[in-house]
């Protein structure tokens, strides 16, 4: 099965804690501090793999974690760095933040390798805190915490040209004739369940990549018949070949079919509907009533609107070469760079942000003041409250953030208890 969407959890490595130790050697009765630094946590890295074309691997494995840094050791031994985790994705994969749906990065064009989350920095050992007045510091710095993120992975096929049209108009037959692709071809209304890609080689030209997008029906932009799931694959295409059954072999009006599909494109994304189009009036080999030419009717309707119409037979190959050279001519007049979706979400801004919320409340049942929130939790994770410097930093944090002011506004008095994530402190002004 073709998998073009996946939801995964990624986590970088935590930094190793700094170590507290002192030299213990013979004939050195008062050795100085020699606690080593913690190792750095591993990064989460995404990398393009040209050999992949689906996201099927992410159906089985949904959690990806980099290695944690090891804590420091005695004798100034630095902890080992955590191992990076490299996650391979197909070209064209868009990474989004799961909650907001905003684009973090698009693995397309020149964007081949991205460090999405960086590992936590290792904490300093106690050797760094020795001073003339504090020659035996009994504290070290904790390692920085890991970063984690819930991601939506979305594969958007990279093709220059997209084929659209109702089911059974001959898109798969056309693709098989003009490229090296070998799509499954059968007379079913939903034969193509994944975009088939092929390369068109033309004499005297560099050629282009073409994608057979699954057959659309009316209501596709609203998700009917899985159409909405696959419309995303034409978001990168520069030119659209609109294939229509000119012979009306299934009893439909080809002109109305074209309008119906264009309506779905407009409903899904007006920008896509406005891209250059060429109409391939297919199945001319099946037109037996020559008294009224359906191709002439299609031309009369759309060529005045600037949309060229080419009669073809995907089965016999008649008219196909002329159509391909026209499409190549249209492409040469357009920007050749791959469409890359702009970044909307910046993970690094979400970690350690000074704008993170916190709450200050009074719990009457327990008769304690409660301070909570992600900002408080992270501050406690960084701070060694057992050390004098750490506790001073903690007090300054409460003052600078306005927490002390909020506690006083709630009526806190000397000797009252403050609770923060399982820790309890007595308040004294």
Mean pLDDT of the chain: 80
Q: What is the pLDDT of residue 357?
A: 62
Q: Distance between CA 376 and CA 282 in Å, rounded? A: 66
The distance of Cα 371 from the centroid of its chain, to the nearest Å, equals 34
Start-end of H helices in 233-280: 254-268, 270-273
Average pLDDT estimate for 303-324: 90
Burial of 358 (0-12, 13-18, 19+ CB in 10 A): middle
Handedness of CA 414, 419, 420, 424 (dihedral sign): positive
- pLDDT tens for 8-25 read 999 999 999 989 888 877
List the Cα angle 7/10/16 in 5-degree steps: 170
In three-state secondary structure terms, 57 is helix
Q: Name the percent of the chain lying above pLDDT 90.
A: 21
Give the residue, 330 or 249, on which the prediction is more confident. Answer: 330
224 pLDDT exceeds 50? no
- pLDDT tens for 48-99 read 998 887 788 888 889 999 999 999 988 889 999 999 999 999 888 889 988 8
Q: At 188, is the pLDDT very low, low, confident or very high (cuts 50, 70, 90)?
A: very low
Of 93-107, 130-144, 225-239, the range with the lowest mean pLDDT is 225-239
Q: Are 154 and 18 in contact, with CB atoms under 8 Å apart?
A: no
Q: Distance between CA 90 and CA 6 in Å, rounded? A: 13
H or E, element range at 371:
strand 368-372
Q: What is the pLDDT of residue 226?
A: 47
Q: At 214, is the pLDDT very low, low, confident or very high (cuts 50, 70, 90)?
A: low
Contacts of residue 159, defined as CB under 8 A and 6 or more positions apart, other chains included, come to 195, 197, 209, 210, 211, 233, 236, 237
- pLDDT tens for 353-397 read 444 567 788 988 888 998 877 667 767 766 667 767 677 777 878
Of 13-17, 228-232, 310-314, 392-396, the range with the lowest mean pLDDT is 228-232
To the nearest 10 degrees (0 to 180), the angle between helices 171-178 and 320-332 is: 80
Record the tokens describing residue 244, joined without a space.
């229509």
Average pLDDT estimate for 3-11: 84
In three-state secondary structure terms, 75 is coil
Q: Distance between CA 10 and CA 87 in Å, rounded? A: 10
Average pLDDT estimate for 174-184: 69
Of 41-55, 284-298, 402-416, the range with the lowest mean pLDDT is 284-298
289 pLDDT exceeds 90? no
Record the tokens describing residue 65, joined without a space.
């974690």
Q: Name the percent of the chain lying above pLDDT 70.
A: 82
Average pLDDT estimate for 155-182: 79
The distance of Cα 77 from the centroid of its chain, to the nearest Å, equals 38
Paired with 114 in beta bridges are 46
Tell me the whole-structure pTM to 2 decimals.
0.59
Q: Distance between CA 93 and CA 232 in Å, rounded? A: 12
Contacts of residue 424, defined as CB under 8 A and 6 or more positions apart, other chains included, come to 368, 417, 418
Q: What is the pLDDT of residue 229?
A: 57
Burial of 371 (0-12, 13-18, 19+ CB in 10 A): buried
Average pLDDT estimate for 97-122: 88
Q: What is the pLDDT of residue 190?
A: 38
Query: Which has the closest alpha carbon to 135: 18, 19, 22?
Result: 22
- pLDDT tens for 250-282 read 778 889 989 988 888 888 888 888 889 999 998
Q: Distance between CA 276 and CA 240 in Å, rounded? A: 6
Q: What is the pLDDT of residue 353?
A: 42
């Amino acid at each position: 099965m073709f998998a073009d969407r996946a939801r995964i959890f990624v986590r970088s490595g935590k930094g190793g804690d700094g170590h507290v130790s002192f030299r213990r050697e013979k004939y050195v009765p008062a050795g100085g501090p020699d606690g080593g630094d913690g190792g750095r946590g591993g990064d989460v890295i995404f990398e393009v793999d040209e050999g992949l074309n689906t996201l099927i691997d992410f159906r089985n494995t949904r959690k990806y974690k980099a290695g944690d840094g090891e804590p420091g050791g005695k004798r100034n031994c630095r902890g080992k760095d955590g191992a990076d985790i490299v996650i391979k994705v197909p070209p064209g994969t868009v990474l989004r933040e799961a909650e907001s749906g905003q684009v973090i990065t698009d693995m397309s064009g020149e964007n081949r390798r991205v460090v999405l989350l960086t590992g936590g920095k290792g904490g300093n050992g106690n050797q760094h805190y020795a001073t003339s007045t504090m020659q035996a510091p009994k504290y070290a710095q904790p390692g920085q915490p890991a970063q984690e993120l819930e991601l939506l992975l979305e594969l958007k096929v990279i093709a220059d040209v997209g084929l659209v049209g109702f089911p059974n108009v001959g898109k798969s037959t056309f693709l098989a004739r003009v490229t090296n692709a070998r799509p499954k071809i059968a007379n079913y209304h939903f034969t193509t369940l994944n975009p088939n890609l092929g390369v068109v080689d033309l004499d005297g030209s560099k050629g282009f990549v073409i994608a057979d997008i699954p057959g659309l029906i009316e209501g596709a932009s609203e998700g009917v018949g899985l159409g909405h799931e696959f419309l995303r694959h034409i978001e990168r295409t520069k030119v659209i070949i609109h294939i229509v059954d000119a012979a009306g072999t299934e009893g439909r009006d080809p002109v109305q079919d074209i309008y119906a599909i264009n309506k779905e494109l407009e409903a899904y994304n007006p920008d896509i509907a406005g891209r250059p189009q060429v109409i391939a009036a297919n199945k001319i080999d099946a037109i037996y009533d020559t008294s009224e030419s359906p191709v002439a009717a299609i031309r009369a309707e759309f060529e005045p609107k600037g949309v060229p119409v080419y009669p073809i037979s995907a089965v016999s190959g008649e008219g196909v070469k002329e159509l391909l050279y026209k499409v190549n001519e249209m492409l040469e007049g357009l920007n050749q760079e791959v469409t890359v979706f702009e970044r909307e979400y910046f993970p690094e801004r979400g970690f350690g942000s000074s704008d993170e919320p916190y709450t200050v409340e009074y719990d009457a049942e327990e008769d304690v003041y409660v301070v909570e929130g992600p900002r408080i939790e992270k501050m406690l994770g960084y701070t060694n409250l057992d050390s004098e410097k750490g506790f001073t930093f903690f007090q300054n944090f409460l003052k600078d953030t306005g927490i002390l002011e909020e506690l006083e506004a709630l009526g806190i008095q000397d000797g009252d208890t403050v609770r923060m994530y399982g820790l309890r402190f007595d308040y004294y002004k």
